[in-house]
Amino acid sequence: MTEIKHRTVDTNGIKMHIAEAGEGPLVLMLHGFPELWYSWRHQLPALAAAGYHAVAPDVRGYGRTDAPKEIEAYSMKEMTADAVGVLDALGERTAVVVGHDWGAPMAWNSAVLYPDRFRAVVGMSVPYMPRSPMPPLQLMRQMFANNFFYIIYFQQPGIAEAELNADVRKMMHYFLYGASGDSTPGVGMMGKPADAKLLDGMPEPKPMSWLTDADLDYFVSEFERTGFTGGLNRYRNMDRDWEEVPQIGVSKIEQPSMFIAGAKDPVIAFTSADSMKPLAPNMKRLVSLPGAGHWTQQERPDEVNAALIDFLKEL
């Protein structure tokens, strides 16, 4: 198997840890919450073997990458600037950008804000959504009113941290299982009383064929060291992004694009892949993975790798 190598690069004023494999055209892969470069462990060697330079960072606030203290340091403006800075650090003019979960908006918006640097884009789990008519958190508070919704729960600094940092292994195990195709996805993420906590009502995890004990150990060891504040701070910038970057959800993605999601992904239940079509006129394909939940590239690595490589070869 192709060796995965690690190093630290300077980008946008921070030091970023990257995992990489292979040589050839650059493919930059951005993870989501609560994940790490490790979420791409199956894609790095597969893309390398297919003739690409595959790079997966710990994004800002995670793992062995710097985690600035200021909440505003996790705005979409900063996250997309980080992505471009990785290209600069690697001496590359362009790349294909791939993102999952929060990494998907980072990928879509990198393609929008830096169209000359990202020649194609792949999003997983989270579509490129039209701009909301009001700041998104305001809209969510109206929609969920007196009910729990995980994004609203994440807003007040310190509240979610107190729960999630208290037992990192339990948090990671329940969260990864709960949003997977092995569970009934979405249970516990919404629809509880407003004063509930995140793990309240989440189902007891059962064994998952796609997540070994060693995999879970890696995630747990990193988050026990760093805590979850860096990842949570991304959620705390949603209204700031709406104000600062009005072209998000308005500007079209003209580059070739692809979207991949699990058919049981709870995110798809309250977003729409079809809404992307007018915004991404060069969408090559929409891939739905039967039985898969939210952790797309981890739950269905072979199918995701095949779709990615086919897409890259067509560029």
- 19 touches 40 (CB < 8 A): yes
Q: Which two tokens mark 167?
A: 């037992």
At 131, the pLDDT band (50, 70, 90 cuts) reads: very high
The 10s digit of each residue's pLDDT in 198-253 is 999 999 999 999 999 999 999 999 999 999 999 999 999 999 999 999 999 999 99
Domain residue limits at 86? 5-314
DSSP 3-state assignment of 136?
A: helix
Q: Is the pLDDT of residue 270 over 90?
A: no
Task: Choose, from 17, 100, 173, 294, the residue flagged as catalytic.
Answer: 294
In three-state secondary structure terms, 181 is coil
Give the rounded percent of residues in the chain with a pLDDT score beyond 90. Answer: 91
* Range in 262-271, 274-283, 302-311 with the lowest mean pLDDT: 262-271
pLDDT of 193 over the 80 cut: yes
Mean predicted lDDT score pLDDT of the chain = 96
Q: Is the pLDDT of residue 183 over 70?
A: yes
The pLDDT of residue 190: 81
Instruction: With a cut of 80, say whether residue 143 has pLDDT above it.
Output: yes
CATH of residue 201: 3.40.50.1820
- Give the pLDDT mean for 72-83: 98
- The CA–CA distances, whole Å, from 273 to 57, 202, 267, 289 equal 26, 26, 10, 13
Q: Check whether 1 has a pLDDT greater than 70.
A: no
| Segment 17-69, tens digit of pLDDT | 999 999 999 999 999 999 999 999 999 999 999 999 999 999 999 999 999 99
Rounded Cα–Cα distance for residues 25 and 119 (Å) = 11
Total domains in the fold of the chain: 1
Q: Kindly list the distances between the CA atom of residue 26 and the CA atoms of 98, 152, 164, in Å, as whole numbers in the listed order.
A: 11, 36, 35
78-95 residue pLDDT tens: 999 999 999 999 999 999
- Give the model confidence (pLDDT) of 152-170 as tens digits: 999 999 999 999 999 999 9
Does the annotation count 101 as an active-site position?
A: yes
Active-site hit among 58, 66, 101, 265: 101
pLDDT of 100 > 70? The answer is yes
Identify whether 213 is a catalytic site residue: no
